[in-house]
């Protein structure tokens, strides 16, 4: 049986036409699934009963089980989800006064092994399918009882290493017939894969781009992020220039501030040199508690770093992390079995 959540609207239309139905039936099904979040053909009441029965015999829905749902003191929610093959992923709901953001996973684990990130320490298992990515959104929308406003591929995994499935999931969720989430409400967060950034620039897909930088020193970044040894800062900078020339979009940079590692005046100077000429915004993220243990700078040191960057002419803000108490903040997601 085909997984219906793996089909975009054009593919679903072709399937519906192939067994003698009118193509508008695909629109009806798409609305039920993505606008109303109904994953049972028998409940799609504007479809003829014989069609509902036929659909049930031809298609299936990806299923994932909510193993655990934790709620932070700040309202952040973290979901541990069990996939059909018994692998586990974690996803996060960030609640703000006027909007809700989902941090969605694109892989089971991560192969990049950044030293401050718990996800990489758990290792890489496999890519998620487009239907598994989409299913996370439907499940969490149903769980919180409202639609999401923004989706960030900043959960488990490197999105550009599972590019085809990430893009297909975006296409499905963006389609105006169904979920109709605006394209600028999607963000791809990457550790810096030049080929992926270039393909995004060339795609015409106007999603937002966020780059995990964490240091503008070659040696320091390589120690924090092994991917820098393969794609050093010079190659990253060149492709970011290409991306910006092609799209004109501002790039967000994530900078996990770590005491004694990347918070010195020299680090600040190198960061400014790297950012010069790029339309950018820097999220300064006081490092979250993961293993191996890195220390956060003091509140004063964080403020000095932030203000110094602003005085140098760069837009930035200190991100007040949500969900740290339930290990739902940046770098804290991992595959934990709690059954």
Q: Are 149 and 50 in contact (CB under 8 A)?
A: no
Alpha helices in the chain (DSSP H): 9-18, 24-30, 49-58, 118-121, 130-144, 163-174, 194-203, 218-224, 227-230, 233-247, 265-275, 299-311
| 117 is annotated as contributing to ligand binding | yes
The CA distance from 62 to 107, in Å, is 16
The CA distance from 111 to 158, in Å, is 8
Active site residue 195: no
The strand pairing partners of 286, in sequence order, are: 257
| 320 is annotated as contributing to ligand binding | no
The CA distance from 26 to 13, in Å, is 5
Choose, from 15, 21, 90, 141, the residue flagged as catalytic.
Answer: 90
The CA distance from 187 to 176, in Å, is 18
Q: Are 210 and 253 in contact (CB under 8 A)?
A: yes
**Tokens 């000429």 — which residue?**
277
The CA distance from 90 to 77, in Å, is 10
| 27 is annotated as contributing to ligand binding | no
Long-range pairs for 123-130 at CB < 8 Å and ≥24 separation? Answer: 125/87, 125/335, 126/87, 127/157, 127/161, 127/162, 127/165, 128/89, 128/157, 128/162, 128/165, 129/3, 129/6, 129/62, 129/165, 130/5, 130/6, 130/164, 130/165, 130/166, 130/168, 130/169, 130/172
Q: Are 158 and 195 in contact (CB under 8 A)?
A: no
| 77 is annotated as contributing to ligand binding | no
| 103 is annotated as contributing to ligand binding | no
* Burial profile 220-241: b = 16 or more Cβ within 10 angstroms, e = fewer: bbbebbbbbeebebeebbebbe
| 150 is annotated as contributing to ligand binding | no
| 15 is annotated as contributing to ligand binding | no
| 212 is annotated as contributing to ligand binding | yes
Active site residue 327: no
Binding site feature residues for S-adenosyl-L-methionine = 157-158, 189, 212-214, 288
Residues with active-site annotation = 90, 330
Binding site feature residues = 110, 114, 117, 157-158, 189, 212-214, 288
């Amino acid at each position: 049986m085909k997984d219906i959540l793996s089909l975009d609207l054009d593919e679903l239309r072709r399937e519906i036409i192939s067994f003698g139905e009118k193509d508008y039936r695909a629109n009806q099904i798409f609305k039920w699934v993505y606008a109303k979040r109904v994953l049972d053909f028998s409940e799609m009441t504007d479809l003829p009963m014989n069609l509902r029965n036929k659909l049930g015999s031809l298609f299936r829905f990806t299923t994932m089980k909510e193993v655990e749902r934790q709620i932070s003191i700040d309202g952040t929610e973290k979901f541990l989800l069990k996939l059909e093959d018994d692998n586990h992923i974690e996803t996060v709901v960030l609640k703000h006064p006027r909007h809700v953001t989902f941090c969605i996973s694109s892989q089971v684990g991560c192969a990049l092994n950044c030293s401050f990130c718990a996800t990489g320490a758990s290792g890489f298992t496999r890519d998620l399918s487009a239907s598994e990515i989409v299913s996370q959104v439907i499940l969490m929308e149903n769980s919180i009882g409202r639609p999401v406003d923004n989706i960030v591929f900043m959960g488990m995994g490197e999105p550009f290493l599972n590019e085809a499935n990430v893009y297909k999931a975006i296409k499905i969720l963006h389609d105006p017939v169904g979920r109709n989430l605006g394209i600028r409400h999607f963000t791809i967060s990457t550790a810096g894969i030049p080929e992926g950034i270039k393909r995004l620039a060339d795609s015409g897909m106007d999603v937002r781009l966020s780059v995990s930088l964490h240091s503008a020193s070659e040696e320091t970044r390589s120690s924090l992020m092994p991917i820098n040894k393969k794609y050093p800062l010079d190659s990253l900078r060149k492709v970011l220039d290409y991306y910006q020339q092609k799209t004109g979009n501002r790039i967000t940079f994530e900078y996990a501030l770590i005491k004694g590692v990347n918070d010195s005046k020299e680090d600040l100077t190198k960061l400014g040199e790297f950012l010069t000429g790029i339309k950018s915004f820097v999220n300064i993220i006081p490092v979250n508690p993961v293993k191996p243990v890195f220390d956060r700078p003091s509140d004063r040191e964080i403020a000095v770093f932030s203000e110094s960057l602003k005085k140098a002419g760069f837009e930035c803000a200190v991100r007040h992390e949500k969900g740290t108490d339930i290990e739902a903040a940046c770098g804290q997601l991992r595959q934990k079995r709690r059954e």
